[in-house]
Amino acid sequence: MKYQNPKPKWSELETGTAILTPGSARATHTGEWRSSRPVWNDEHCVQCGVCVIFCPEGCIAFQADGYPKADLDYCKGCGICVQECPTTSIAMQDEEE
């Protein structure tokens, strides 16, 4: 899918900066803002899905092995999943580590 130029010249902006191509948010990797990432301990995880539901970005999904993980292209590192996990299976890890 072709998205609008992320760094357009002024003369290339659409009328009123409208977006003409659906799904353009997908091209903006908001995960670049993150300073720390959620890390799952699958030994404690009971696959309840609370993190999937609470993630404000909707970027946590069950993987093929049945355990949830975050899509790091879009995870902003807010830590809500860590806060909500009933089995304390998720921890935040600094991106610098």
Partner 1 sequence: MERRIGMEASIAMAEAVGLCDADVVSAYPITPQTHIVEHLSELVANGELDANFVPVESEHSAMSVCCGSSAAGARTYTATSSQGLALMHEILFIAPALRLPIVMAVANRSLSGPISIWNDHSDIMAERDIGWIQVFVENAQEAIDLTIWSFRIAEDKRVSLPTIVNFDGFILSHMIEPVLMPDREQVQDFLPPFEPLQRLDIDNPVSMGPVGIPDVYTEAKYVQHKLLTDAYGPIVETFGELEKHFGRKYRPVETYRADDADVLLLTMGALGETAMTAVDERRKRGQKVGLIKLRLFRPFPYKDLLNAIGDKPVLGVMDRAVSFGGPVGPVASEVKAALFSARKHPLVPEFIVGLGGRDTSIADFHSIFDDLFEAAERDTTPDPRFVGLRE
**Interacting residues toward partner 1 by CB under 8 A:** 6-10, 13, 15-20, 22, 24, 28
CB of 61 to partner 1, least distance (A): 24
User: What is d(CA 35, CA 83) in angstroms, rounded to the nearest whole number?
Assistant: 17
Q: Which helix H or strand E contains 40, and what residues bound it?
A: strand 36-40
User: Between residues 6 and 86, which has the closer beta carbon with respect to partner 1?
Assistant: 6
User: What is d(CA 91, CA 81) in angstroms, rounded to the nearest whole number?
Assistant: 9
CB of 27 to partner 1, least distance (A): 11
User: Between residues 15 and 88, which has the closer beta carbon with respect to partner 1?
Assistant: 15
User: Between residues 13 and 61, which has the closer beta carbon with respect to partner 1?
Assistant: 13
CB of 76 to partner 1, least distance (A): 14
User: What is d(CA 73, CA 41) in angstroms, rounded to the nearest whole number?
Assistant: 20
User: Between residues 28 and 87, which has the closer beta carbon with respect to partner 1?
Assistant: 28
Q: What phi-psi label fits residue 17: left (phi over 0), alpha (psi between -120 and 50 degrees) or beta?
A: left
